[in-house]
Amino acid sequence: MDIEIRNMRISDISKIAKYDLIMLGETLGEETIKRHIKNNNLMRYFVMETKKDKAFIGQVSLWIDEDKAQINNFYIIKDFQGKKFGKKFMNYIMSYFKSIRIKEVTLEVRNSNKVAINLYESYGFKVITTRNNYYPNGENALLMYLMIGSE
Ligand SMILES: CC(C)(COP(=O)(O)OP(=O)(O)OC[C@H]1O[C@@H](n2cnc3c(N)ncnc32)[C@H](O)[C@@H]1OP(=O)(O)O)[C@@H](O)C(=O)NCCC(=O)NCCS
């Protein structure tokens, strides 16, 4: 299936906020996302969709500060999971980082999220610390780190 990855648009936001709740259990909220897209040069939002029907597949938000980046709110919606779209999105994100000369990348992931941990490890990310009781349900977060060029 042909896919496209593009910048998030204001017209995507209400759909994104809805899927954030379904996929992540929380959302920054429509107003905050809108403000980030319009005014915040540190945040970049990308959407993956099918090329033909423009069906929403997933999204990511990236926090960029000079040569450092953080991957936030990354997901592929349920119907499209396990079909290599996460990998395609990660390939895009990693190429994007290289194109803007990012050197260090961090992300947080739930201790129990083996699928995401496997995916990130396949790109060379390593767990560098655990943040205890990080999530509202008391679950620990793993902080993962990648130095680009060392993978
Ligand atoms: C994590 C997520 C983005 C992965 O996307 P996906 O499209 O389902 O994954 P892919 O089909 O591209 O698989 C990529 C890799 O993930 C891992 N993976 C995928 N399905 C897996 C499974 N059932 N069990 C273990 N690892 C799995 C593997 O490393 C796989 O690579 P491989 O097929 O070469 O072994 C997606 O499952 C998701 O959105 N999950 C819910 C939200 C979430 O957890 N986001 C990340 C927050 S940090």
* pLDDT tens-digit map of 101-143: 999 999 999 999 999 999 999 999 999 999 999 988 899 999 9
The answer on 14 and 71 residing in a single domain is yes
Q: How far apart are the first and last CA of the chain?
A: 29
Q: Is 4 a catalytic residue?
A: no
The answer on 83 and 130 residing in a single domain is no
Total of domains in the chain:
2
* pLDDT tens-digit map of 23-82: 999 999 999 999 999 998 899 999 999 999 999 999 999 999 999 999 999 999 999 999
Predicted pLDDT of residue 151: 66
Amino acid, single-letter form, for residue 66: E
Give the Å distance between the CA of 75 and the centre of ligand 1: 9
Predicted pLDDT of residue 84: 98
Give the Å distance between the CA of 81 and the centre of ligand 1: 7
The angle at the Cα of 137, spanning 135 to 142, to the nearest 5 degrees, equals: 35
Is the minimum distance from the CB of 113 to ligand 1 under 6 angstroms?
yes
User: Which residue's CA is minimally distant from atom 43 of ligand 1?
Assistant: 75
The answer on 110 and 41 residing in a single domain is no
Q: Is 108 a catalytic residue?
A: yes
Cα 39 to Cα 140: distance, rounded to the nearest angstrom: 32
- Of 63, 82, 102, which residue constitutes the final position of a domain? 102
Cα 75 to Cα 3: distance, rounded to the nearest angstrom: 15
Where in the sequence is the domain holding 48, given as residue range(s)? 1-102
Which residues in 11-33 are b (16+ Cβ under 10 Å) and which e? ebbeebbebbeebeeebbeeeeb
Predicted pLDDT of residue 89: 98
